[in-house]
């Protein structure tokens, strides 16, 4: 089981639904309705917040790569 599968298994059906909506918005490049913030130490890494769920992704020119999806805790924003 990879990391994404483990994360998804821990989420409730309601959280999975929220996550799907957010990922679709990110994919379309529709960021204006999201709680989006650029992370301090990086110029191309952002986080989206929805309740306790955090999606951290890297945006470069035309590419968006999801780095992690996590529930909010003290380890969420640690550098990897």
Domain that holds residue 8: 3-71
Q: Is residue 60 part of a domain?
A: yes
Q: CA 53 → CA 8, 21, 60, 71, distances in Å?
A: 11, 12, 23, 5
User: How many domains is the chain built from?
Assistant: 1
Q: Is residue 78 part of a domain?
A: no
Q: Is the pLDDT of residue 1 over 60?
A: no
Residue 60: what are its φ and ψ, rounded to 5°?
-125, 145
Q: How many residues does the chain have?
A: 80
Contact between residue 48 and residue 22 where contact means Cβ atoms under 8 Å apart: yes
| Domain CATH code at residue 33 | 3.30.2310.20
Q: Is residue 20 part of a domain?
A: yes
Q: Is residue 77 part of a domain?
A: no
Q: Is residue 50 part of a domain?
A: yes
Q: 18-56, pLDDT tens digit by residue?
A: 888 888 998 888 888 889 999 888 888 999 998 888 889
Rounded Cα distance, 14 and 32, in Å = 22
- DSSP class of residue 32 equals T
């Amino acid at each position: 089981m990879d990391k994404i599968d483990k994360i998804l298994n821990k989420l409730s059906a309601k959280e999975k639904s929220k996550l799907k909506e957010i990922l679709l918005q990110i994919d379309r490049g529709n960021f204006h309705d999201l709680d989006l913030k650029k992370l301090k130490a990086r110029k191309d890494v952002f986080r989206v917040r929805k309740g306790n769920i955090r999606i951290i992704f890297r945006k470069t020119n035309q590419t968006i790569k999801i780095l992690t999806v996590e529930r909010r805790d003290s380890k969420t924003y640690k550098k990897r």
